[in-house]
Structure 1
Amino acid sequence: MAILCNRILLTGAAGGLGTQLRPFLRERCNHLRLSHLRPIELADPSEEMATLDLADFSKVLEATRDVDAIIHMGGISKENTFESILQGNIRGMYNIYEAARLNNVKRIIWGSSVHAVGYHKRTDVLQTDCVTRPDSLYGVSKVFGEGLAQYYFDKFGIESVTIRIGSSFPEPSDWRMLSTWLSYNDLKHLIERCLIVPKVDHTIVFGCSNNDQSFWDNSKVGYLGYKPKDNAEDFRPNLESSVTKPPYDDTVISYQGGAFVAAGHFEDK
């Protein structure tokens, strides 16, 4: 396996996607620095540990030192209070980019979300440069991150790939995921392409597999060379036999953000 970087920082290394990416990235760099709130047991001599809270700038600055690329999967992963999202996803995102600037990190690949565009109807076919329509405070934080990534490229030349992740799980577990599913293998392929392509500026790409019912169009970012192979349709028979299909006008299936659109404002709960 070709070594793509000397040192990669993976934030959120103990999370669902971080756990999947960890061995994959370890094969593509000489040193893999793992970031998480709590210490993680190292599995290989090439791994390093950076225990930190993303809201702590001094710790983030230290973790990004001598790093060639950052795979940023850390932060709050679902709807929460504004204060929690502020610290983990807004302040934390700023800290990643500002520390990268100070440490001359060349590329950041990070997980945005479908929830940045969740208020679009499922009948809308979205290009990567579509208008953002966040469906939650979590989605708002992802819109902030996308704007920050653009700013740090325009102002400071830090290249980024923003991946609007749909639903990355072992298999689709509801009917909406027939459109939004991103297999782990396709996620890894996308991350690899984001590391390989010589110049990406600030690119936004939808993170989804080769699903027949996809409502996302990545044709404007074909230069990434992302060619997903998996298809959520393979799991349709299982869904048909085990999961009741919602009415076509049910919010959880009629909007791209699904249940995030249907849910009330988190602070009111």
Structure 2
Amino acid sequence: MTTAPRTVLLTGAAGGLGTLMRELLPPHGYRLRLLDRRAIDDAAGDEDVITADLADKEALREAARGVDAVVHLAGISLEASFEKILRANIEGTYHLYEAAREAGVKRIVFASSNHAVGFTPRPADGSAAIPVDTPRRPDTYYGLSKGFGEDLASLYWDLHGIETVSIRIGSCFPAPTSVRMLSIWLSPADCARLLHAALTAPDVGHRVVYGSSANTRLWWDLSTARALGYEPQDDSEPYAAQLIAEQGELDPDSPEHAHLGGAFCTDPPRWPY
């Protein structure tokens, strides 16, 4: 795949990240088909809308039919009971991949998360960035489900030839809201750039990358994302002075500051993060 796919199925289109990408992906040349369990009443004239749950296999088949690629953002984005995570994030992602396989879709971008490796110690100042092949250390059932999604993507590449870029997203908000987020922030504009790179890079097979902007305080290695053609243009540093003045520096003796996953590494997990 060397040219941009034209029609992309965007799951989770009514969520916070999905709503941002509805605005920012089309300028990269995409026509979007939107899927969410919640109704989308403000769809643009060139947006198709399907209101359905990830458990609705027939609706997913219809949603995947005729698209060039899928950006899979749908699911629960915080910690929840195992039963809820199982239904939405684990079974739901499996249903999505099956629908893509049946429809002949050959490229998926999967919204994984830093919480798949959340109990990884955060790097100390001046230490090496966390590589993408660091061992999985999920911090929650949510993080566990993202590890499952990465493995499912690997299986569908090896078994069915469906390529996936699994993006371990940090925190994608218009601006960082915590000192921790200074290190993992992904600006919405950079998120769209990364999705575009993941949709168009040739011969990705199954590839895992970290998703963040080019932050001065970056904790992880962005080289696999850059290898896709991703060129981040934003940095969280302009927000640093105010956030540190309000919240103080990170405390290495605090569980929520000592690990990559932040407050998800506390018992019980806390947020916002």
* Fold agreement, TM-score > 0.5: yes
Deviations for 1:131-157, whole angstroms, at most 9, x for unmatched residues?
A: 111000000000000000000001111
Identity of aligned residues (%): 45
SS at match of 2:25: helix
Q: Which of the residues 166, 172, 175 maps onto 1:171? A: 175
Counterpart Cα distance in 2 of 1:226 and 1:28 = 13
Aligned residue number for residue 84 of structure 2: 84
Conservation of the 8 A alpha-carbon contact between 2:180 and 2:250: no
Match runs of 1:64-143 below 5 Å: 64-123=64-123, 125-143=129-147
**Which runs of no fewer than 5 residues in structure 2 stay unpaired?**
none
* 1:227 paired to 2:266: no
How far 1:32 sits from its partner (Å)?
1.6
Conservation of the 8 A alpha-carbon contact between 1:116 and 1:135: yes
2:54 is matched by which residue type in structure 1?
L
Aligned residue number for residue 47 of structure 2: 47
Counterpart Cα distance in 1 of 2:29 and 2:233 = 25
Deviations for 1:104-126, whole angstroms, at most 9, x for unmatched residues?
A: 00110121001000000002732
Report the number of matched residues. 264
Q: Which of the residues 124, 146, 149 maps onto 1:145? A: 149
Match runs of 1:196-211 below 5 Å: 196-211=200-215
Q: Which of the residues 244, 247, 251 maps onto 1:243? A: 247
SS at match of 1:229: coil
Aligned residue number for residue 9 of structure 2: 9
Counterpart Cα distance in 1 of 2:79 and 2:30 = 35
1:36 is matched by which residue type in structure 2?
D
How far 1:26 sits from its partner (Å)?
3.1
Conservation of the 8 A alpha-carbon contact between 2:263 and 2:269: no
Alpha-carbon RMSD: 1.8
Counterpart Cα distance in 2 of 1:195 and 1:96 = 17
How far 1:159 sits from its partner (Å)?
0.5
Deviations for 1:128-183, whole angstroms, at most 9, x for unmatched residues?
A: 12211100000000000000000000111101110000111111111111211111
Q: Which of the residues 158, 180, 191 maps onto 1:154? A: 158
* 1:20 paired to 2:16: no
Counterpart Cα distance in 1 of 2:59 and 2:82 = 23
Which is worse superposed, 82-91 or 36-45? Answer: 36-45
Deviations for 1:32-70, whole angstroms, at most 9, x for unmatched residues?
A: 211011221243221111111012222211111111110
Conservation of the 8 A alpha-carbon contact between 1:42 and 1:48: no
Distance 1:212 1:103, change over 3 A: same
Which is worse superposed, 222-231 or 28-37? Answer: 28-37
Counterpart Cα distance in 2 of 1:174 and 1:223 = 29
Which is worse superposed, 66-75 or 238-247? Answer: 238-247
Conservation of the 8 A alpha-carbon contact between 1:193 and 1:226: yes
TM-score normalised to structure 2 length: 0.91
Counterpart Cα distance in 1 of 2:216 and 2:6 = 38
1:58 is matched by which residue type in structure 2?
E
**Which runs of no fewer than 5 residues in structure 1 stay unpaired?**
none
Conservation of the 8 A alpha-carbon contact between 2:5 and 2:200: no
